[in-house]
Amino acid sequence: MSTKKKTELPKKEKSNLQRKGPPPMPARGMAVSFLLMAIFLTSMYLFSDSSKNDGQKDYSYFIEQVKSGRVSKVDIAHDGAGNHNVIVESKDVDDSGSTRFRTEIILTDKLMEMLEENNVQVTVKRPKTVMVSILANLIPFLLIFGLIYFFFIRQMKNSGRGAMSFGKSRAKLLTHDKNKITFSNVAGVDEAKEELLEVVEFLKDPKQFQKLGGKMPKGVLLCGPPGTGKTLLAKAVAGEADVPFFTISGSDFVEMFVGIGASRVRDMFEQGKKNAPCIIFIDEIDAVGRSRFSGIGGGHDEREQTLNALLVEMDGFDTQEGIIIIAATNRPDVLDQALLRPGRFDRQVMVDLPSLEGREQILNIHVKNIRLSDKVELSKTARGTPGFSGADLANLVNEAALLASRRKANFVEQKDLEEARDKVIWGRERRSHALDDEEKRLTAYHEAGHALAMHYMEECEPIHKVTIIPRGRALGATMQLPKKDRYTQSQKKLEADLVAFMGGRAAEELIFGDITTGAHNDIERSTAIARAMVCEYGMSKKVGPQNLGNSQEPIFMGQGMTGSQDYSESTANLIDEEVQRILVDSYDKCMNILVEHKKELIDLSEILIEKEVLDADQVIHILKHGKLPDENEDEKNDATDLAEASETDEDLFAKENKDEPKNKDSDSEKN
């Protein structure tokens, strides 16, 4: 739990990095452009002269045009067979342009003299072979068809995502040669691993289970919050059993075309049968396995057909084939009941957030490739990260390594892990966000009020750190470090937390005679806890132990949007009165604590203004002595403790040496 002072929305800042020049064109866009350019050039080649081309003319027409002086140019080309193919360029009568036509001639001296007399430009080209002519005409067409083949046919074959492969499964096959993961790579979920060991043993030796006539579950559903290692567990099962592993996401089944998802489901099971024994893993199965309930917005034909195909396929195969279906979801409440019945997903395995011991085990796995200092205590880090998932812990270790490299250290220290934890939970320190003296003083008293209330409420978790440096969206924070993991909350613990939440607002009113908006987050959280105590936990004597429908479950597919209030107006008024009473009592109790310890509040606040950050030992010393601990005093105390410890060790050693002769004498006497 932490308390925050004055939530502040971050301002949007313009990026200093500006893109220079136009963005690079994607490879597919360049290919399409090249294809269009080839088509355009080919068209220009084939039809460049089609606008003013009269085609083939006879020889007499050609002679007439020459004699009339309309011919300006003649291109004579030999075809290699004694014939002369002539391209004639003649002038129009109105000199508006020129017209080209073809003809065949018999090349004679008389004809050449006629052309010379009429000032006709004559060009004679070398004869073309038949092969050259054919290639010259076919090259443009070959270029076009080659590009079409490359960008359509080949792409469809290679990618498997083309128009011809809509109905093919998109499941990726991971063999044991690729990134093999075993149970040694998974920590913090011992119970889940034990349940999945049966699946591993079955895949290794199916006949062992078939001797007794038992059947293995067809499907295993992994449920749990995000980041707890559900996907990793499924891969570990495949790695332990050393079998092929097909993985696919639930969203890969759903397409805009009806029937595509069902076809992909059938194809996926066909691939599984060909590679049996194997594991088929469907991640985020809630994307395709949601309840077929037509609420607000209607149904979804494609998704329902895909779900129906999945149900049929799971009924159609036998576990003797060696196929195990493993699915993962963090929303098991929205899955269709037909999917969860026995014979489909027979077993549900809960993959919950790791415990204290589990978090330490996970940290040990993630720090294998990290250069840690010898003074690092992972147990301390594990204790300070309640509610962290495996993914959160991996991110914490990575952030710590980045922090250590940023300060050019050779090893990751304990302070790096603590700073990384604070950064993950509360955000990065914003030292550039400077507060003026008045607001800094107000924030210091606000956070000191929280710290003082937490200190004198025994049920509250111990203080970890108090800071008035803006972190994340908060101007200050009072952080706590739980002693242990809590799976239930007592009424006294909740009431103590409410008193701690009111510390900031009460300190503002006591010292400044005014209140600010800085406590709005505290009030929001306090109200939520107080209402839950009345409506859900039955912690109000007037209301009694009953649930009054204040469910925090998210609305799914229109369910619950049209539900009616299941209690009367008088009960609603009673709930409001009880919530108000709990909040007012908490505030009054907090105010009494601050009034009684006002001097401690002032001392802590003034030192906090100066230091900006105080750890737990410093806070406790200030509350006891009104000042920060003296360094010389700490050294003296450490020396005294060391001397006492040494003296104790010497006494023990002397005692052991003193007892040895007695034991020897007694032994000799016995002998």
Which residues are catalytically annotated?
A: 447
Residue type, 194: E
Nearest alpha-carbon partner for 233 in 249, 217, 245: 245
Q: Which residues contact 608 (CB under 8 A, 6 or more apart)?
A: 444, 447, 448, 466, 468, 614
- Given the DSSP bridges, would you call strands 71-78 and 84-91 parallel, antiparallel or unpaired? antiparallel
Q: Are 364 and 184 in contact (CB under 8 A)?
A: no
Contact 485, 448 (CB under 8 A): no
Contacts of 133 (CB under 8 A, 6+ apart): none
**Cβ-contact 335, 556 below 8 angstroms:** no
147 class by beta-carbon count within 10 Å (0-12 exposed, 13-18 middle, 19+ buried): middle
Distance CA(291)–CA(556), nearest Å, equals 10
Count of other CB atoms within 10 angstroms of residue 225: 13
The radius of gyration of the chain from alpha carbons, rounded to an integer in Å, stands at 42
Strand-by-strand arrangement of the 613-615 sheet: 2-7, 474-480, 463-467, 613-615
Q: Scan for tokens 């239930």, then name that residue.
A: 488
Neighbours of 592 (CB within 10 A): 12
Q: What span, in angstroms and rounded, lies between the C-alpha atoms of 430 and 427?
A: 9
Residues 6+ positions from 236 with CB-CB distance below 8 Å: 181, 182, 183, 185, 186, 193, 196
Gap between the Cα atoms of 480 and 384, Å rounded: 9
Two structure tokens written together for 661: 């002769």
For 61, counting Cβ atoms within 10 Å of its Cβ (0-12 exposed, 13-18 middle, 19+ buried), the class is middle
User: What is the rounded CA–CA span in Å between residue 67 and residue 466?
Assistant: 109
Q: By the 8 A CB rule, do 505 and 448 touch?
A: no
HSE (CB half, 13 Å, CA atoms) of 353?
14
The backbone torsions φ and ψ at residue 256, rounded to the nearest 5 degrees and listed phi first, read -75, -20
